[in-house]
Structure 1
């Protein structure tokens, strides 16, 4: 997926969970990596092919398939880690244990962000600003990133094409997730495209029309 200037996006699936890690390259070459779940060598090779200089690591949440490569990537690039919300320390402090348990990345390290994010914050790379929205439900400290000029959002595991995030993990909550989707994502506009943590790109409008969990007609019938 390539976005017109001022930035480009390369989606790099990583780990056996095929998590969509996104590399955002600004026009000046500076880059942010969203949710480096592992396979850091693969991510660095993709960044090199883009001529992207990784300066930032942005985390939507702390599940191991999204964050287990964050500390290694920081050490190898000098990038700063921003996100998720401070409530996500619950999961970020379990990365090493979870990595070993699931065998995804034996080198996965617990993540200590350089900056916690909250609703209304912004993050920036190469002069491109993304708005931050606090979207709990899948996890307690989940956030999403939205670039309003490009009408593009990176939503982690809040919403997928045709589905929504799981809420059966510790500190997940189904109604909180529904509230995050309808109160934080839908107002961003039906024509806004979004990159999920897994699976294909969609638009909020398409999900409002056809998603089996959060389509307007489904929620109206609840």
Structure 2
């Protein structure tokens, strides 16, 4: 599996384009906006968009999804149904976060823990990791050991838990019981900022380092 990180929106959200080298089929994860950058990357790599995937319902991650789906005819999949209220409240999110107006929408289907998604010959595991939002998902590709974690975990930090439906205890549990068992060698793309590895975060992250959590 190959990937390209495409920062979008004023929040510099890490929209990620992932693709199968054999079939040139691609998925875009969290198209929050700036669709021209996504189209440019698709054209550059000679890819066919096959899936639009959402980790959670915050506007900087989903703000361009409905338009991208309409323009390409590609279905939106995810997040987990527990984030439906975030998608229903996109007009209010637009106002609260200073974004252009964004209509509410529902994905073609919500995703559940344990599902597997195919992009050409690539298989992604779907993991439900609540805490930052109640319906937050993580996508994991086991061959290259790459996780797309949205706003669950960052290099040196973790997701905010001061939003409606957030739960700090649930977030820590998601990280330690869902992500860490995937292996220290796993690299991850967060929703914002630079990539890191689980080994690095378990050693040095001031919120979830092993020595802090015992």
Q: TM-score range by the shorter chain?
A: over 0.9
Alignment TM-score, normalising by the size of structure 2: 0.97
CA displacement 1:73-116 (0-9 Å, x = unmatched): 0011111111111101011111232124423233x232311111
Alignment length (residue pairs): 213
| Structure 2 counterparts to residues 117-136 of structure 1, below 5 A | 117-136=111-130
CA displacement 1:138-197 (0-9 Å, x = unmatched): 001001000011100000000000000000000101000000000000000000000000
Q: RMSD over aligned Cα, in angstroms?
A: 1.0
Counterpart contact for 1:68–1:110, Cα < 8 Å: no
- Secondary structure of 1:132's counterpart equals strand
Q: State the shift of 1:71 in Å.
A: 0.2
Q: Pick the aligned partner of 2:69 from 63, 66, 74.
A: 74
Moved over 6 A (4+): none
Alignment TM-score, normalising by the size of structure 1: 0.93
Task: State how far apart, in whole Å, the 2-side matches of 1:138 and 1:147 are.
Answer: 22
Residue in 2 aligned with 1:190? 184
CA displacement 1:25-80 (0-9 Å, x = unmatched): 21211110000001112211121112111110010000000001100000111111
Task: State how far apart, in whole Å, the 1-side matches of 2:10 and 2:198 are.
Answer: 27
| Structure 2 counterparts to residues 1-222 of structure 1, below 5 A | 7-27=1-21, 28-106=23-101, 108-220=102-214
Task: State how far apart, in whole Å, the 1-side matches of 2:162 and 2:43 are.
Answer: 38
Task: State how far apart, in whole Å, the 2-side matches of 1:73 and 1:38 are.
Answer: 9
Instruction: Give ranges in structure 1 of 5+ residues lacking alignment.
Output: 1-6
Task: State how far apart, in whole Å, the 2-side matches of 1:111 and 1:55 are.
Answer: 19
157-166 or 26-35: bigger deviation: 26-35
